[in-house]
Amino acid sequence: MDTAVVVSENVPDQVIKPWYVYLVRAVNGALYCGISDDPRRRFEAHCKGQGARFFKTSPAQALVYVERWPDKGEALRQERLVKRLRKSAKEALVSSYNAEPACGAVSPCDA
């Protein structure tokens, strides 16, 4: 008996949601690196003291860098690379991001 596999042409392609690597500057000047599927929402959580113990000692001040990746795995790999950078290299990323006219407004936390 032959078994046929039927593939429906009406099945929508899987929607791939992008993920982002981001840097947040703390009040003490330190940079925090993380990933999220919504970096602005995550930044707002950091402003409220949620989501990372890092901000318990020095509150989040500004979302200063965001880069888009096609999926979570790619974002995780990039996050690991960014976290290994020296602070001067991270500051260079921040400077290049802020110099781009399309980077959009970066809203600081309401203190």
Predicted confidence (pLDDT) per residue in 56-108, tens digit: 889 999 999 999 999 999 999 999 999 999 999 999 999 998 866 544 444 45
Domain 19-98 in this protein, CATH class: alpha beta
> What residue type is 94 in one-letter code?
V
Q: How confident is the model at residue 9 (pLDDT cuts 50, 70, 90)?
A: low
Residue 8, pLDDT > 50, answer: no
Write a three-state SS string for 18-75.
CEEEEEEEECCCCEEEEEECCHHHHHHHHHCCCCCHHHHCCCEEEEEEEEEECCHHHH
Task: State pTM to two decimals.
Answer: 0.77
pLDDT of residue 2: 53
Domains in the chain: boundaries: 19-98
- pLDDT category at 109 given cuts 50, 70, 90 is low
